[in-house]
Amino acid sequence: KQEVTQIPAALSVPEGENLVLNCSFTDSAIYNLQWFRQDPGKGLTSLLLIQSSQREQTSGRLNASLDKSSGRSTLYIAASQPGDSATYLCAVLNQAGTALIFGKGTTLSVSS
């Protein structure tokens, strides 16, 4: 059974810091991996999608990497801003392509 773990559960940093969020999964047979952002009481916003054949994806200040063989992904946020404060969720799509399996998220707080 696929399990997704995100470390740390919470993170507080001052504005301007670069930071790394970690995601690990137990079954390397995945179709893709997606990082989302969730603001309190809101829905999910897709940040980056990495196909299983890819190693990384970049969008603005965000960079996500994928090491499928070791079951790990990282989300790198450069020059953090208070507006980055949110919960970041990692999810892997099962190989059948029918279900996203989510971690519990990392709650990020960036202080000005």
Q: Which residues bind another protein (CB under 8 A)?
A: 4, 31-32, 34, 36, 41-46, 49, 89, 91, 93, 96-105
Q: Which is nearer to another protein, 65 or 80 (CB)?
A: 65
Please, what is the minimum distance in Å from the beta carbon of residue 62 to another protein? 15
Please, what is the minimum distance in Å from the beta carbon of residue 38 to another protein? 9
Type of residue at 84: D
39 neighbors 93 (Cβ within 8 angstroms): no
Token readout for 104 is 């519990």
Q: Which is nearer to another protein, 75 or 80 (CB)?
A: 75
Q: What is the DSSP letter of 17?
A: -
HEC secondary structure over 76-89: EECCCCHHHCEEEE
